[in-house]
Each structure stands twice: as C-alpha cells, then as structure tokens.
Amino acid sequence: MQAVKNAVIAAAGMGTRLGAGKPKSLIKINGKALLEYQLSLLANVENVFLVVGFMEEDVMTFASKIRRDIIFVRNANFQHTKTLGSFYLAARNINGSAIFMDGDMIIEPRTFAKFLETAARLDDNELLIAVSKRISDDPVYCAIEQRGDDLRIHGFSFEEKSAYEWANVVYMPAGLMINGSSHTFEHLQKFLPAAAKVIDRLEIDTPEDLRGAEKFFKTNDWFGIN
C-alpha cells in the first residue's frame, strides 16, 4: 500500500456565478475560506499542487500562509480553459498518480479519508472516481454497479438518471490527463468501467449554495468546529 502522494486542486476560475468579486477559493463559509477546508483534507499528502489563475497573487498569498509548501501552478489562460485544462498543467510534470479535485466544493472529511484509503490500495494504472448522492441542480449522473461494498462506474450521462452524480474528484495516473477543452468527466469516459467511491460534499456555485452551506453547517458538524 502506497499512500497518496500527489493532489491537484483546480482553483483558477473566476467563480462568476457566485459574483463575490474575489476568487471562489477565498470565499468564507462559517469563518473559513473554501480553500482551507480543502487543504485540511490533504494534510497527509506530500505534494499539493494548486492551479491558480484569476487574482492569482491573492490566492497564493492566502494559501501559502495556510500551507507553506504548496506548489502553485499558473494557468495564465484561465479565462479560456476548463477544469481539465488546469488539471493538465499540473499533471504534465507529475510522475505516478494524483488526486484531481475541483476547488468549488466542501468535502466531508470522513468520506474523503475513505476515498484516500481506497486510492492507496489501487494498482499503479487504476482510476478511482468519486461520486456522491445527487446534490446538483444540473447533475452529471453516474451509472453505478454495486458489488458488496465495492462500486464500479460504467458511464456518465446528463439524461440517464441515477442516485449518484459525478463528484469532480478523481484519483488517476497523471499521465492520463490531457490538455483538452472538454469536461473532465467526458475525458474520463475513455477509462470506464472504473472503481468508484462515494464522498459527501457541498457544491458552492451560487449565492444560494453559499447560504445553503452556512445553514447546513448549523446542524451538520463535518469539521468538528461547532
């Protein structure tokens, strides 16, 4: 068993739907920035790559105070790329596998820890795709087959409804990332079927999401802070 060594967080986007006038990763929820929640999940991962773009210096100044040894990857073309493009910029120099995660959500730590444990047990060339119980308004559904505790994902779809949706987190060999303009899940389609694991999460895309998250944390203590 080899512990997960590399993690990539895509935080280059403008977060326009949130309209906060600052990068989404710096938005505070219950007094803690979105990025702090994500970094706290990766305390035991040796190399953390944070892809920055929009207001990059603000993000770097803030993030380096939380974790000094972050490797910042610049996506100067952030206005014209999707998450996959940001992932690729970090992936191109990573040897071995990495966790790739979108920076626009809060993930529940216990389910994420299980995801890390499962990822560490995989063979070198295997993928582990995170799915979650449906939370999005416009979900990417996942066709899931369950065998005991093990889940396998067979496909992504906007139409074929399912209880699970794509969670924007994947553990995979960095060499399989490409520099594309498609959605990450469209690229992952090539590698299915693959192992899947459920994580709980909250997406922060809109002002409603933000209010919803603050309300959610009044009754759900994911981070032991209440």
Partner 1 sequence: MIVSCTKIGDVMKKFAFDLDGTVTKVETLPLLAKELDLADEMKLLTDLTLSGQIPFEKSFRLRYLILRNIPLKKIQEIMDGVELDAEIAAFIRENKKNCAVVTGNLDCWIAPIIAKLGCESFSSTSEPDEKNSPVLKKILDKGSAIRALKKISNKVVAVGESFNDVPMFEEANISVAYGGVHKPVSAAISVSDYVVFDGGALCRLLKML
Binding site for partner 1 (CB under 8 A): 46-47, 52, 56-57, 60-61, 64, 68-74, 76, 91-95, 174-176, 178
Check residue 69 and report its DSSP letter.
Answer: T
In the complex with partner 1, which residue's Cβ is closer, 91 or 213? Answer: 91
* Residue among 68, 32, 42 at smallest CA distance from 169: 42
Least Å distance, CB 73 to partner 1, is 6
Q: Are 116 and 135 in contact (CB under 8 A)?
A: no
Least Å distance, CB 140 to partner 1, is 24
Q: Tokens for 111?
A: 């389910």
Least Å distance, CB 116 to partner 1, is 19
In the complex with partner 1, which residue's Cβ is closer, 62 or 223? Answer: 62
Integer CA distances (angstroms), 16 to 29, 42, 55, in order: 17, 26, 13
Taking the C-alpha atoms of residue 53 and residue 8, their distance in angstroms, rounded to an integer, is: 14
Angle at 199 between CA 117 and CA 158, to 5 degrees: 130
Q: Are 163 and 139 in contact (CB under 8 A)?
A: no
Least Å distance, CB 60 to partner 1, is 6
In the complex with partner 1, which residue's Cβ is closer, 72 or 223? Answer: 72
In the complex with partner 1, which residue's Cβ is closer, 95 or 220? Answer: 95
